[in-house]
């Protein structure tokens, strides 16, 4: 008997038996498993995103400080990194959330007085905070030494345990650790 002819004899139609597809039960089971996996994965993914954002912002500051240090040595002049109020002015504050800028500080006054601005970092994303313990700026001498030590605290909404501490020692070297004593 030909497969294309139904028992009733109507040519061109097929039997429903053997047709490919999914049953309603199979679809419901698949959707349930997907929902359970998403419920487990989404919170972990959010933590992953927050950790990467903090690491990226900490690396931005470390890069700016190392760049300023290398430019001070290369150019043979003072180079300052400060919290910014505009793209050409320092804020004069220990609050670095607004970003920072690096500039050649030939007269050593810690302010941009027509000197070359080397780097500008825009404000931090996602309401993260960056505070210096004491310093409003870090100035590198032509030897690469900063002469001052300070610790920056980078935090998000999770608090001090997941924050980053970025330390600048007297020699101008920068180090980063996970966790900080306090967050603003």
Q: What is the pLDDT of residue 4?
A: 53
Q: What is the pLDDT of residue 3?
A: 56
Q: Show the CA angle centred on residue 65, arms to residues 77 and 60, nearest 5°.
A: 145
User: How far, CA to CA in Å, does 87 sit from each of 58, 82, 122?
Assistant: 20, 11, 8
Q: Which domains does the chain have, with CATH numbers?
A: 24-178 (3.55.40.10)
What confidence tens digit (pLDDT) does each residue in 46-86 have?
Answer: 889 999 999 999 999 999 999 999 999 999 999 999 999 99
Q: Which H helix or E strand runs over 85?
A: strand 79-86
159 pLDDT band, cuts 50/70/90, is confident
- A 10 A CB-CB count for 160 gives 13
What confidence tens digit (pLDDT) does each residue in 78-116 have?
Answer: 999 999 999 999 999 999 999 999 999 999 898 999 889
């Amino acid at each position: 008997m030909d497969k294309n002819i139904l028992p009733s004899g109507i040519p061109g139609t097929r039997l429903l038996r053997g047709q490919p597809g999914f049953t309603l039960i199979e679809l419901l089971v698949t959707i349930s498993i997907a929902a359970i996996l998403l419920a487990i994965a989404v919170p972990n993914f959010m933590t992953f995103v927050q950790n990467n954002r903090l690491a990226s912002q900490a690396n931005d500051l470390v890069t700016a400080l190392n760049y300023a240090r290398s430019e001070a040595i290369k150019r043979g002049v003072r180079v300052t990194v400060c919290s910014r109020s505009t793209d050409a002015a320092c804020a004069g504050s220990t609050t670095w959330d607004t970003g920072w800028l690096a500039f050649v500080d030939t007269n050593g006054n810690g302010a941009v007085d027509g000197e070359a601005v080397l780097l500008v970092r825009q404000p931090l994303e996602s309401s993260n905070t960056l505070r210096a313990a004491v310093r409003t700026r870090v100035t590198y001498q032509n030897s690469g030494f900063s002469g001052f030590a300070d610790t920056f605290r980078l935090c998000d909404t999770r608090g001090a345990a997941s924050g980053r501490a970025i330390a600048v020692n007297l020699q101008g070297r920068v180090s980063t650790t996970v966790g900080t004593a306090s967050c603003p």
